[in-house]
């Protein structure tokens, strides 16, 4: 269904949403550094509270890195992650407040006024990091690639393996590439507008 209410052209609507799918298989075509940089340079403009930008990304390219990651994944996620052209570990930096004086310059005191407590930072980083993860997935689609996001893993295991500092919390692992053979399950339904939206 297309509508005049959206200004984005119909092809872009399809690319980003209607025809975009969660891929479970991929071709061998590599995902380049240039593509990942273009994705980040687009989605970095997605909004976060206090412009806090807690998202951190680890690109897993080496065989050794792939093995270190796959051991922490749920069994059903192992094979497709081992075979994907690129895997990104998306994590929230719970010490994001250190960057606030430079990233929120019109109110640099936010670092201490709002984010002195770790528990507050963790809560905020989880929400805003998840938003940025969503922007990232849409950015992958904007590059003509498919994403396969996953949260079926041992989060503590990944945190220790890739972020030994205790300051990061994994948000999602995302397989990235061109979709391969038989790449997705049948499209599942979506809740309709009236099931989701109320007006007061
Ligand atoms: C945050 C998140 C976590 C997910 N975790 C897994 C997972 O661990 N394993 C898996 O096979 N699919 C996982 N999925 C895939 C979803 O089931 C899929 O995106 C959803 O059913 C929509 O599919 P579609 O994009 O093809 O319509 C995850 C998706 C998201 C966004």
Tokens matching residue 182: 């038989």
Task: Tell me what pLDDT residue 165 has.
Answer: 86
d(CA 42, CA 54): 16
**Is the residue at 200 inside a domain?**
no
Please state, as a whole number, how many other Cβ atoms lie within 10 Å of the Cβ of residue 138: 17
Q: Read out DSSP for 77-124? A: HHHHHHHSSEEEEEEEETTGGGGHHHHSTT-TTHHHHHH-SHHHHHHH
Q: Is residue 14 part of a domain?
A: no
CA 172 to ligand 1: nearest atom: 1
At 1 the pLDDT is 62
- Kindly list the protein residues whose Cβ atom lies closer than 6 A to any atom of ligand 1: 21-22, 76-77, 149-152, 172, 184, 187-188
Q: Whose CA is nearest to atom 13 of ligand 1?
A: 150
Task: For residue range 112-134, list pLDDT tens digits in order.
Answer: 999 999 999 999 999 999 999 99
Count: domains in the chain: 1
Mutate to test the pocket of ligand 1, among 22, 134, 152, 183 (most ligand atoms within 8 A of CB): 22
Q: Tell me the pLDDT tens digit for each residue of 58-85.
A: 999 999 999 999 999 999 999 999 999 9
102 alpha carbon – ligand 1 mean position (Å): 35
Report the atom number in ligand 1 closest to the C-alpha of 24. Answer: 11
Going by the DSSP 8-state scheme, the letter that residue 8 receives in this structure is S
| pLDDT number for residue 4 | 87
Range of the domain at 33: 28-181
- On whether residue 197 sits in a domain, the answer given is no
CATH at 82: 3.40.109.10
Residues of the chain where predicted confidence (pLDDT) is lower than 50: none
What proportion of the chain, given as a percentage, has pLDDT over 90? 96
Task: Report the alpha-carbon distance of residue 91 to residue 57 in Å, rounded.
Answer: 6
State which H helix or E strand residue 159 sits in.
Answer: helix 155-162
């Amino acid at each position: 269904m297309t509508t005049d209410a959206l200004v984005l052209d119909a092809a872009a609507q399809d690319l980003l949403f209607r025809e975009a799918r969660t891929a479970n298989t991929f071709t061998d075509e590599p995902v380049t550094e240039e593509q990942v940089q273009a994705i980040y340079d687009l989605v970095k403009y997605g909004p976060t509270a206090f412009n806090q930008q807690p998202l951190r990304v680890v690109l897993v390219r080496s065989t050794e890195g792939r093995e270190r990651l796959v051991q922490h994944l749920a069994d059903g996620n192992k094979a497709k992650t081992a075979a994907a052209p690129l895997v990104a570990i998306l994590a929230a930096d719970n010490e994001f407040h250190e960057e606030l004086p430079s990233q929120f310059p019109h109110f640099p005191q936010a670092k201490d006024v709002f984010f002195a407590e770790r528990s507050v930072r963790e809560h905020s980083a989880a929400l805003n990091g998840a938003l940025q993860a969503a922007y990232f997935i849409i950015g992958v689609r904007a590059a003509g690639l498919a994403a396969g996001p996953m949260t079926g893993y041992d989060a503590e295991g990944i945190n220790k393996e890739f972020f030994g500092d205790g300051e990061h919390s994994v948000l999602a692992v995302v397989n990235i590439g061109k979709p391969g053979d038989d790449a997705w399950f049948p499209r599942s339904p979506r809740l309709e507008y009236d099931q989701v939206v109320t007006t007061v």
